[in-house]
Amino acid sequence: MRATLGVFLCVLSASVVHLFFSSPAYADIVLTDARGDTRNTAPGGDFYRQDAFDITELRIAEKGADVLVTATFAARVPLRHNVRLSRETTATLFPMNIEIYIDQKPLIGFTRTLPGRRVEIARESAWDVALVLTPQPREFAGELRRIDAELADRTHFAAKPRVRGRTVSGRFPRARIGELTPHMGFVVLVTPAAFRSTFQLFGEHLLFIADVRARATSCSLESPDSTGCAFGGCKPCGDHPRVIDAIVAKDANELELFGAYSRGRFVNVPARVPKPPAPKLRSQQPPIEL
């Protein structure tokens, strides 16, 4: 009896060790976007190359206890030097926010995005967790907590984002994010960052985000709305999305999608699902807005 029990415990221990060490890490989740599909640009005039905000790939990879997120752009990521943060302090910062909204669970989640983006996520893609690469993560997180605690609870910031060539990357604790698989929905927004100093105040509608402006070639000079801000046209600027580039559903036309706004109505964007699951019956009940 004792020998049998010993054998059983040995087999059980071996099985537990095997499960612990052989659990495969999920494969990298890779989202790609066409080059040259941006129409808006960031404040700063000719300082920024237009394609510096043109995201071409977002990669999510498991790295031990962390999740590594890497955004790749069409051109070298520019840096702003000597950004004054206080009367005594300056810093070198990259000029964009990369926001990843992830739909982990069907029929529940948020449709609103971070304040000031003027973008809503489609109801069927309502998100459960957001990952953000931003040049001032601590300040951004604190301000979001003050403005919208609900969103703050589901939004995670890379504490030390890193810029190298055409990439911006950052790590997030995997335990706080939960499971990530290519069967989930992803929306990626690239927005122009507004830098915050100790002697500046930003309103709720401009949460670490700058406004965008249309490229000079976006609109015809003969058009009565030639100052328009839409991705793909010359619509008036009121309530236009403050987005320069994005990764959304594969079959969506970004120019049409981000041009479909009007005063009082933000654009509504569907998520990209890298590897859609097999079709199955599901309730048509709309998601619950948290």
Per-residue model confidence (pLDDT) at position 90: 87
Taking only the tens place, the pLDDT of each residue in 164-181 is 999 999 999 999 898 899
State the pLDDT confidence band at 197, using cuts at 50, 70 and 90: low
- Looking at per-residue confidence, does 21 or 280 come out higher? 280
pLDDT above 50: residue 205? no
Per-residue model confidence (pLDDT) at position 144: 93
Per-residue model confidence (pLDDT) at position 289: 47
C-alpha to C-alpha distance for 229 and 87, rounded to whole angstroms: 34
Choose the most confident range, by mean pLDDT, from 50-54, 87-91, 97-101, 277-281: 97-101
44-53, 68-77, 252-261, range with the lowest pLDDT:
44-53
Per-residue model confidence (pLDDT) at position 264: 82
Taking only the tens place, the pLDDT of each residue in 212-224 is 765 554 455 444 4
Whole-number average pLDDT of the chain: 79
- Looking at per-residue confidence, does 95 or 107 come out higher? 95
Taking only the tens place, the pLDDT of each residue in 78-104 is 998 888 877 888 889 999 999 999 999
Closest listed residue to residue 74, CA positions, set 164, 188, 162, 167: 167
pLDDT above 70: residue 9? no
The CATH number assigned to the domain with range 25-271 reads: 2.60.40.1190
pLDDT above 80: residue 45? no
Per-residue model confidence (pLDDT) at position 4: 53
The alpha carbon torsion through 225, 226, 229, 233 (nearest 10 deg) reads: 80
Taking only the tens place, the pLDDT of each residue in 127-165 is 999 999 999 999 999 999 999 999 999 999 999 999 999
Domain residue extents for the chain: 25-271
pLDDT above 70: residue 21? no
Per-residue model confidence (pLDDT) at position 194: 84
Q: Is the pTM of this model over 0.85?
A: no
Tokens of 130: 């957001």
Choose the most confident range, by mean pLDDT, from 52-66, 219-233, 274-288: 52-66
Average pLDDT of the segment spanning 11-20: 43
